[in-house]
Amino acid sequence: MANNYNIIEGVTPGHIKDLIENMTDEDRLELETWDDDEVAVLECLSCTDTIYTAINTDNGKVILIFGEVDVRPGEVAPWMLTTNELEKFPLEMLRESKKYIDSNSDVKLWGFVHQDAKRAHRYLKHLGFTVGVESDVQVRNKIKFERLPNV
């Protein structure tokens, strides 16, 4: 039986609970600055301009939640946190991510990723990001990634 998924705009308290309970260990690294995963996720969501949730429609579980922060005109900081459900949809989520990246080809996309999140580094590189970009801002245990606009 094929796995089915749906991506919706927005997030519910149930989605947040599912994400926190089933988040990958690697993505928990992204939240290490905070003492509590729920506080960390809620803080991320509070400063996010657009939020999407990918759901496995076969079992109702969250695959991932991602969003974008409009940093300044022409610059967007995308972020994503995943659950273990991602293992069922690796190629599908890569294709969906590529669609998102391509739809934002006119802006600079950048952010920070944990230095030990090797899967995330591979994923970002696969999407055309440069990982390990020099930055004036230093974030503990994080390295900068970016994708310049197609101009």
Model confidence at 36, pLDDT cuts 50, 70, 90, reads confident
Q: What average pLDDT does range 6-20 have in this prediction?
A: 94
Q: How many domains does the chain have?
A: 1
Specify the pLDDT at position 151: 60
Model confidence at 2, pLDDT cuts 50, 70, 90, reads low
- Could you tell me the residue range of the domain that residue 52 belongs to? 5-147
Which 3 state secondary structure label does DSSP give 19?
A: helix
Q: Looking at this protein, which amino acid is placed at residue 68?
A: E
Model confidence at 1, pLDDT cuts 50, 70, 90, reads very low
Q: Is 123 exposed, middle or buried (0-12, 13-18, 19+ CB in 10 A)?
A: buried
CATH of the domain at 101: 3.40.630.30
* The model's pTM: 0.87
Structure confidence by residue, pLDDT tens digits, 96-120: 999 988 888 899 999 999 999 999 9
Q: Between 137 and 81, whose confidence is greater?
A: 81
Lowest mean pLDDT among 45-49, 121-125, 129-133: 45-49
Q: What average pLDDT does range 11-28 have in this prediction?
A: 93
- 16-38 as b/e, with b when 16 or more CB fall inside 10 Å? bebbbeebbeebebbbeeeeebe
Q: What phi and psi, each to the nearest 5 degrees, are found at residue 76?
A: -130, 140
Structure tokens at 30: 């992204």
Structure confidence by residue, pLDDT tens digits, 41-100: 888 888 888 999 999 999 999 999 999 999 999 999 999 999 999 999 999 999 999 998
